[in-house]
Structure 1
Amino acid sequence: MKIIIIGAGQVGGTLAENLANEENDITVIDHNGARLRELQDHLDIRTIHGQGAHPNILAQAGAEDADMLIAVANSDEVNMAACQVAYTLFQTPTKICRVRATPYLAKKELFSNKAFPIDVLISPEQVVTKHITRLLEYPGALQALDLANGKARLVAIRACQGGPLVGHALSLIRQHMPTIDTRVAAIFRKGQPIIPSGNTVIEEDDEVFFIAATDHIRAVMSELQPLENKYKRIIIAGGGNIGFRLAKYLERRYQVKIIENHHERCVALSEQLEKAIVLHGNAANKDMLLEENIEDTDVFIAVTNDDEANIMASMLAKRIGARKVMALI
């Protein structure tokens, strides 16, 4: 397959590496010549220095017979314009575009052949926000994925002592919950996958993946571990795009505090958030966390732009009393 990737950053570079290993014909476009040389030194790909949305650059990349365009540059506008140019001038069959800005994402009608002809829209911040919010809905869950447009979910949970089904065969779940339809899709025991059957006995510490209607998830979870109390108090470390989206979504359901290190960003957050409390400071500062009653916090979520800062803040929050911590790495 002939694929053009616009953007040689972390995402574009990783895509190029993975796709090149699958024997695809890869061309990467970026305005950073040094980054392109770095990629070309260890990958069998073609690189072009230039602006990915310009028609002449796309033509040079072979857009006239490309099977796919993946636009993951740092600029939403460049990505969207590149898809438009690829569609209008080169009739590229498949166009994948990364868009981060909420004002664009809020207008779904923008992403169609009548506006910006994008076949697959990717929003990392939106994906992370949805993932975290699903986990917050189900205290104790390890994973939670939407199926059938949210009508059903695949949930992973660790079997714990006190769960009625622990130590018993899976077939008993029908007796315990005769009106609820659920299926156990997989079990991981000591790191090894098990294909479940009705005779499979659930053991303590098994990671159980099950599918059920969204309204029945907590009922099924109660068979595998004692249900935890629902979360109430949340602290978010980092007021960037992800932190803001999380706070905006969660502030109507939970008591939310958001800690941001830059004063100007704090001002902007306080103007856009309705109920969440915005704090100016360092989330990895022990005194600040203690002052904000971290020991009474149900969930501490570190989503700054710095992986090391997220790890350090999460470790500190857990050590001094947060019930649950999540970190973006």
Structure 2
Amino acid sequence: MKILILGAGQVGGTLAEHLAREENDITVIDVDLTSLRELHNRCEISILHGHASHPAVLAEAGCESADMLIAVTNDDEINMVACQVAYSLFKTPTKIARVRSSAYLMRRELFNPGAIPIDVLISPEQVVTTQIRRLIEYPGALQVLDFCDGMIQLVAMKAYQDGPLVGQKLRALHEAPDAINSWVSAIYRHNRPFIPDGHTVVEADDEIFFFAARRDIRTVMARMRRSDRSVRHVIIAGGGHIGERLAQSLEPSHRVKIIERDLERCQTLAERLDDTVVLHGSATSQRLLTDENIDECDIYCALTNDDEVNVMSSMLAKRLGARKVLALINNTAYVDLVQGGEIDIAISPEQATISGLLSHVRQGDLVSVHSLRRGAAEAIELVVHGKERHSRVVGHTIRELALPEGIAIGVVVRGEEVLFGKGSLRIQDGDHLVLLVIDRQKLREVERLFQVDGRIR
């Protein structure tokens, strides 16, 4: 595919690296020549220095022959205008834009071919808010992802020393008399992911990724580790878009406090939020945290725009007695460095945005794509189509598919039925498959496998 990416920042750069490895023709446009050159040195892409929304620049980049335009600059207006120009002048088939401002997002009727022609709208703040909300819903989880319209969830959790699974083979989880249907799809150990089998022995500090039906998630989690008590008291540091949205979603069922250092923003939050307590002050103030009973806090969420503030305030909150701390980290290089010590969970807005973009970029009948462990692996949901005589998948068992190494089918959803990826399971037309991909370089092989009559649907 020929893809234009507007913006060489963290999201645009990371996305370009992902897609370049998959043999796409990528051109990145930005006004920052230094960022462009650094990106060009990291991966095989074309770069163009210029204003991303200018018709002449888009023409020079080959917008007329592009299959897709992805506008992820830091300016909402530039992203929207670029999509309008691509639609009006170059008839670009697919236009994706990142839009942050709630002033635009509240008016979704704006985004259609008759107004602002954006085919896919990506809102990082909403993606991150949803991600944090799920982590609060499932205490003990490091990541929670939905598949098949929420019927299936993929959950990541850490195996602690003296936990029920440490030292045990995974098959013990499934052979118990009261076992619940689930599948451990991957384990992240010593900085690398791998696909385990029933004989794999769980070690302390392993990050375990498992699939289960949504209704069974809590039960499976309880059997994998000591149960965590539910979250009731939440303190949020940072009253920006993410902090405000999270507070709005939590306040009907939780005790919520927001710490915001900007007085004017505090007044705005107090007017917009119903039951949330809004506090004016610094999230790194030990006196403020102590006065607000941080030792009674179930989860402390550091969501300011400053990575240093988020890291330092999270560490301070943990040392003062917060049961769990979560930090928003914009620099993806720091995420793995800070998570797992005093900071329980580190979230990268860029990586969450990438996951939302990939399912719209990849070919085939893809429903969703999610990154695991900040891109170390991916979980992909796709729909199988075709008749047996025209398909290398339909009518075959999972064992017969001979999937490339580093790729496994974890779950098959057939109508309302959830089936786990046993080798004898036979694939049918219309099945939803969730695959775990450790080696992204094998994705082209997977796409070819799911072709129908030589075409990717």
TM interval, shorter chain, is 0.7 to 0.9
Contact kept, 8 Å, 1:162 with 1:226, in 2: the verdict is no
* Cα distance, 1:313 vs structure 2: 0.7
The residue number in structure 1 matching 2:71 is: 71
In structure 2, relative to structure 1, the CA distance for the partners of 1:159 and 1:13 (3 Å cut) is closer
Q: Which segments of 5 or more consecutive residues in structure 1 lack a partner in the other structure?
A: none
In structure 2, relative to structure 1, the CA distance for the partners of 1:169 and 1:2 (3 Å cut) is closer
The residue number in structure 2 matching 1:129 is: 129
The residue number in structure 1 matching 2:220 is: 220
Contact kept, 8 Å, 2:27 with 2:61, in 1: the verdict is no
Aligned amino acid, residue 137 of structure 2 = E
TM-score normalised to structure 2 length: 0.64
The residue number in structure 2 matching 1:24 is: 25
In structure 2, relative to structure 1, the CA distance for the partners of 1:103 and 1:253 (3 Å cut) is farther
Of stretches 218-227 and 90-99 in structure 1, the one that deviates more from structure 2 is: 90-99
Contact kept, 8 Å, 1:67 with 1:94, in 2: the verdict is yes
Aligned amino acid, residue 100 of structure 1 = R
The residue number in structure 1 matching 2:243 is: 243
Aligned pair 1:291/2:291, yes or no?
yes
The residue number in structure 2 matching 1:158 is: 158
CA distance in 2, matches of 1:12, 1:205: 32
CA distance in 2, matches of 1:222, 1:105: 38
Two-structure CA RMSD over aligned residues (Å):
2.7
In structure 2, relative to structure 1, the CA distance for the partners of 1:46 and 1:164 (3 Å cut) is closer
Q: 1:173 is paired with a residue of what secondary structure?
A: helix
* Cα distance, 1:303 vs structure 2: 1.1
The residue number in structure 1 matching 2:182 is: 182
CA distance in 1, matches of 2:128, 2:50: 31
* Cα distance, 1:222 vs structure 2: 0.8
- Alpha-carbon displacement from aligned partner over 1:11-48 (angstroms, at most 9, x marks no partner): 34555566667673424144xxxx23553477374434
CA distance in 2, matches of 1:177, 1:287: 52
Contact kept, 8 Å, 1:163 with 1:222, in 2: the verdict is no
Q: Count matched residues.
A: 324
- Alpha-carbon displacement from aligned partner over 1:179-215 (angstroms, at most 9, x marks no partner): 7321111223444545333343444443221101112
In structure 2, relative to structure 1, the CA distance for the partners of 1:17 and 1:162 (3 Å cut) is closer
In structure 2, relative to structure 1, the CA distance for the partners of 1:13 and 1:36 (3 Å cut) is farther
Aligned amino acid, residue 49 of structure 1 = G
CA distance in 2, matches of 1:223, 1:42: 45
Contact kept, 8 Å, 2:5 with 2:26, in 1: the verdict is no
Of stretches 66-75 and 155-164 in structure 1, the one that deviates more from structure 2 is: 155-164
- Alpha-carbon displacement from aligned partner over 1:192-244 (angstroms, at most 9, x marks no partner): 54533334344444322110111211100011111110011111111111111
In structure 2, relative to structure 1, the CA distance for the partners of 1:45 and 1:171 (3 Å cut) is closer
Aligned pair 1:39/2:32, yes or no?
no
- Alpha-carbon displacement from aligned partner over 1:61-106 (angstroms, at most 9, x marks no partner): 3321223212122332331232122123211123221011234334
Contact kept, 8 Å, 1:40 with 1:47, in 2: the verdict is no
Q: 1:150 is paired with a residue of what secondary structure?
A: coil
Q: 2:220 is paired with a residue of what secondary structure?
A: helix
CA distance in 2, matches of 1:287, 1:180: 47
TM-score normalised to structure 1 length: 0.87
* Cα distance, 1:165 vs structure 2: 4.5
Q: 1:223 is paired with a residue of what secondary structure?
A: helix
CA distance in 2, matches of 1:96, 1:235: 34
In structure 2, relative to structure 1, the CA distance for the partners of 1:110 and 1:150 (3 Å cut) is farther
CA distance in 2, matches of 1:8, 1:206: 34
CA distance in 2, matches of 1:176, 1:98: 47
CA distance in 2, matches of 1:229, 1:318: 17
CA distance in 1, matches of 2:3, 2:160: 47
CA distance in 1, matches of 2:136, 2:144: 10
Contact kept, 8 Å, 1:233 with 1:256, in 2: the verdict is yes
* Cα distance, 1:325 vs structure 2: 0.7
Q: Which segments of 5 or more consecutive residues in structure 2 lack a partner in the other structure?
A: 330-457
In structure 2, relative to structure 1, the CA distance for the partners of 1:201 and 1:287 (3 Å cut) is same
Contact kept, 8 Å, 1:161 with 1:225, in 2: the verdict is no
Contact kept, 8 Å, 1:169 with 1:202, in 2: the verdict is yes
Contact kept, 8 Å, 2:297 with 2:322, in 1: the verdict is yes
| Counterparts of residues 103-142 of structure 1 (less than 5 Å) | 103-142=103-142
* Cα distance, 1:270 vs structure 2: 1.0
In structure 2, relative to structure 1, the CA distance for the partners of 1:84 and 1:230 (3 Å cut) is same
Q: 1:264 is paired with a residue of what secondary structure?
A: helix
- Alpha-carbon displacement from aligned partner over 1:229-265 (angstroms, at most 9, x marks no partner): 0011111111111111111112122111111111111
The residue number in structure 1 matching 2:82 is: 82
In structure 2, relative to structure 1, the CA distance for the partners of 1:204 and 1:10 (3 Å cut) is closer
CA distance in 2, matches of 1:140, 1:74: 34
CA distance in 1, matches of 2:4, 2:187: 39
CA distance in 2, matches of 1:169, 1:36: 52
